[in-house]
Structure 1
């Protein structure tokens, strides 16, 4: 069984989402010692954002020589995702949504003919056999019924985009980490406990 572990926070060891994603992977590794883990840190090996040249190549235009290494990197990212049985992603909220480096990765895995297709009845997800677990962190409180709920574009986006490719993602959430030290400690502790108690398979 293969697991793909993705981190996207720019905060390194100070990141809550990184701590929680690592705890999730540790929990799954303990339950399945033979788990084959591939790790990708999107801040250390970022993928380029899509350009007009990328889209032209996707439509059949010849690939410019200078785009070759980036197209190869994108193909590797897609292959890693397709090969994984489980995907664990650390995703902090930046300005109400996902980090741009995570968006660049998502743009390489949401690919027609690979993870979704269009048919007579509309789009159909092709990645439904995967388990995707998202460790998200938010500086404030953005849950349903809160004053800032309308600005929540992290969990809602990730739920939507993975749903589009056929995956029903799981979430472990640390909220209010910038409200104050005690809120951060409580949020992190709760998320780590949820990781420890995560369903193994």
Structure 2
């Protein structure tokens, strides 16, 4: 079994989402001691933002030239990691009401027509990344999840669903500046329940 561990926090030392992601991974390793962890720190992977040449390359019909292969190399690697993994653990701190730019860049790079999604003849999207479980840690300083200022949880749900990942569990540590102990208790209980 492979577990894809994705961190998106810019803070390496004081990030609550990183701490919680590590807790999830530790619990998974107790349950699946032989699991292989793929560590993908999108905040420090220097992920490229898609540009016109990248878009042209990923929609190119036929063999790619050398330049196109280089342009799609990172995206191909990320897609392979995603497809090979059975469980995703995603740390998604809220930055200015939504996900960090690094996580959005990651999502843009793994959304690949013919690899992670496709459209049927009626134009309906079909996710190709099926049979996976995702555990998503969302942390916020003060914004309540589900409030009008929350543009994280619904977006993550929609995007992963678009790829075919429907088995989602959210570990919610929102409003942690005001309700940390309460939210920590609930997160601990939820993590225990989903891994039992």
TM-score scaled by length of structure 1? 0.87
Instruction: Work out the CA distance in 2 between the residues paired with 1:68 and 1:192.
Output: 44
Which position in structure 1 is the counterpart of 2:23?
23
RMSD of the alignment, in Å? 2.0
Shift of 1:68: 5.4
SS at match of 1:140: coil
5+ residue gaps in structure 1?
none
Instruction: Work out the CA distance in 1 between the residues paired with 2:134 and 2:145.
Output: 21
SS at match of 1:164: helix
SS at match of 2:113: coil
TM-score scaled by length of structure 2? 0.89
Instruction: Work out the CA distance in 2 between the residues paired with 1:120 and 1:56.
Output: 23
- Number of residue pairs matched by the alignment: 192
Runs of 4+ in 1 over 2 A off after TM superposition: 61-65, 67-71, 141-144, 183-200
Shift of 1:114: 1.1
Bigger mean CA deviation after superposition, 36-45 or 183-192: 183-192
Which position in structure 1 is the counterpart of 2:150?
152
Instruction: Work out the CA distance in 2 between the residues paired with 1:6 and 1:100.
Output: 14
Instruction: Work out the CA distance in 2 between the residues paired with 1:73 and 1:117.
Output: 20
1:178–1:184 CA contact under 8 A, matched in 2: yes
Instruction: Work out the CA distance in 2 between the residues paired with 1:75 and 1:89.
Output: 19
1:16–1:188 CA contact under 8 A, matched in 2: no
Change (3 A) 1:188 1:63: farther
Which position in structure 1 is the counterpart of 2:109?
108
SS at match of 1:49: coil
Change (3 A) 1:16 1:57: same
